Every structure is written in structure tokens, then in C-alpha cells.
Amino acid sequence: MSVKDLQISKAFYEKLGFVVFAGDPEHNYLIMKNENALIGLFEGMFDQNILTFNPGWDENADPIAQFDDVRAIQKDLKSKGLTLEREPDAGSKGPGSIVLSDPDGNAILIDQHV
């Protein structure tokens, strides 16, 4: 989520039971976790909110054995008529990401790290 003040937002989400899971306040972002729910707080990095999915990782950012590769997801989304703003080379392997927007202009990032 795009936030105006990282520390104020961090304190707010801590009251909701979230704890810092990853990130770096010196780089203006934190990833916070409450059980299986993860949120990212980003100060000054995005103009609006962004929803992120990470194929190949579980909710603890641990690798999972079986997952849909980002290029397979890309092919499926395009077959459904969705417009991708950024996409990996279809012939590539390993890390890659897709960016698209929902009908309200909110960005969706599908970001594969493995």
C-alpha cells in the first residue's frame, strides 16, 4: 500500500496485530505479517496502491515446489483478453514479473523471484 508516513502506518498496523516481517525503513518500505496475511507499506514509491502476488513463494517467502510460472500466468491472462503493461519474455526462464491494472487503475504486480 502506498502510505504517507511509514512509521505512522507501521504503528497503526501493529495495533491490528501485524508485525514487521521484512523490508527496510531506510529504503521506505516494510512488509508486515499477521498470521497468513501480508501487507507491504511503501512510502513515496508508488502513486497509488498496488496488489502483489509472488508465484513460487508461500506466505513466509519460502520457496514452494509446484507453482504456475509467471510466463504461464502471462499466457493465461492474455488469452482472457487482459492487457499487460509489463511482461517477461515468453521464452525466458526464472524470475520475471507482470504488471496490469484493474478497472479502477490499481496496479497488480505478479512478481516471481525464482
Count of domains forming the chain: 2
Q: Going by DSSP bridges, is the β-strand pair 2-3/37-43 parallel, antiparallel, or unpaired?
A: parallel
Is residue 15 in some structural domain? Answer: yes
Domain that holds residue 29: 1-47
pTM for the model: 0.78
d(CA 42, CA 57): 20
Q: Which residues contact 19 (CB under 8 A, 6 or more apart)?
A: 32, 33, 34
- For 63-91, what is each residue's pLDDT tens digit? 999 999 999 999 999 999 999 999 999 99
53 within a domain of the structure (yes/no)? no
pLDDT for the residue 106? 84
At 15 the three-state DSSP class reads: helix
Chain segment 11-65, per-residue pLDDT in tens: 999 999 999 999 999 999 999 999 989 999 999 988 888 899 999 999 889 999 9
Instruction: Assign residue 1 the CATH number of its domain.
Output: 3.10.180.10
The sheet carrying 107-112 orders its strands as 50-53, 107-112, 96-101
Domain-embedded: residue 52 = no
* Grid coordinates belonging to 12: 497503526
Query: Domain with 68 in it: what CATH number?
Result: 3.30.720
